[in-house]
Amino acid sequence: MIKVALPNKGMLFEPTMDLFRACGYKVSKTLKSLSSADPENGVEFYFLRPDDIPMYVGKGIIDTGVTGIDFEAEAGSLCEKILDLGFGASKHCAAVPNDSAYKSLEDLRNKRIATSFPEIVRQYFGAKSPELITLTGAVEISVSLGVADAVVDVVETGSTLKQAGLRILGEPLFRSQAALFAHPGRGTLPEVSTLRKRLEGKLVAMAWMMVEYDVPSSLLEIACTITPGLSSPTVSPLHDKNWFAVKAMVRKSEANLTMDKLADLGCKGILLTSIETARI
């Protein structure tokens, strides 16, 4: 059995659990449980702090795990990223008091910055890094307490910074999302490979839909340009030789617009269906 680390709390917990369950894994967590076994799929799940997962995977104690790209970058571990998961998007931004004269990130090089991610800040600023004050949480309060001149914190909506009287300064220092990491060399293990393919297939299914329609032969080529699919649409002749049935995958974000275009073109019987999972 392979060992898989999952976030035990935070913004990554619920999406990760939902994704794994949708992929057929029997994973559950009670209030105090630290692990969960799924012998049918050959997996032992361990619920760990997201910032600790890179260490466990990097040292080979755990075979593979899900955590934020920022946690892996901060840990500087030897993990191998094998799949972006597309959720848990966040950004690390610098913030300064609303009434400060700071205009760019360069203005912070000789200042004090409070952060929970000192390595990410050092990597951004390089050799001439500001004085860094490492805190484990609630960094936004450090400015009003006189501990720091600015902060670098994980930002989702920015509301917490605004409540603390801070404004975001400049571009994000780092952008993150959830990803599946593996200990180097273990990404090719059969169980890890199966896990990656299942997750990848579900992510494809979440991003795409299937459209089916009938189209006159005179409009077939135009219709196929509207629905090219991943590589090519499936085209089948109908009993009426002047008509064809077409099936193709379309991006979910464009699905309704695609249906409108097909209807305006003259297609009939246009159906849009969800995809449960896929292997591409």
CATH number of the structural domain 208-274: 3.30.70.120
Reported as a pLDDT band with limits 50, 70 and 90, residue 89 is very high
> What pLDDT is stored for residue 98 in this prediction?
95
Choices 3.30.470.20, 3.40.190.10, 2.40.390.10, 1.10.287.1260: CATH for 2-88+177-188: 3.40.190.10
> What pLDDT is stored for residue 114 in this prediction?
97
* Percent of the chain whose predicted confidence (pLDDT) is above 90: 91
Mean pLDDT confidence for 125-135: 92
Q: What is the DSSP letter of 106?
A: G
**Threshold 0.75, pTM exceeds:** yes
Mean pLDDT confidence for 135-159: 91
> What pLDDT is stored for residue 223 in this prediction?
98
> What pLDDT is stored for residue 78 in this prediction?
87
Same fold, 2-88+177-188 and 90-175: yes
Sorted by where each begins, the domain ranges of the chain are: 2-88+177-188, 90-175, 208-274
Contact partners, residue 232, CB within 8 Å, separation at least 6: none
User: In the block, which residue shows the tokens 């509301």?
Assistant: 159
Q: Give the class (CATH, top level) of 90-175.
A: alpha beta
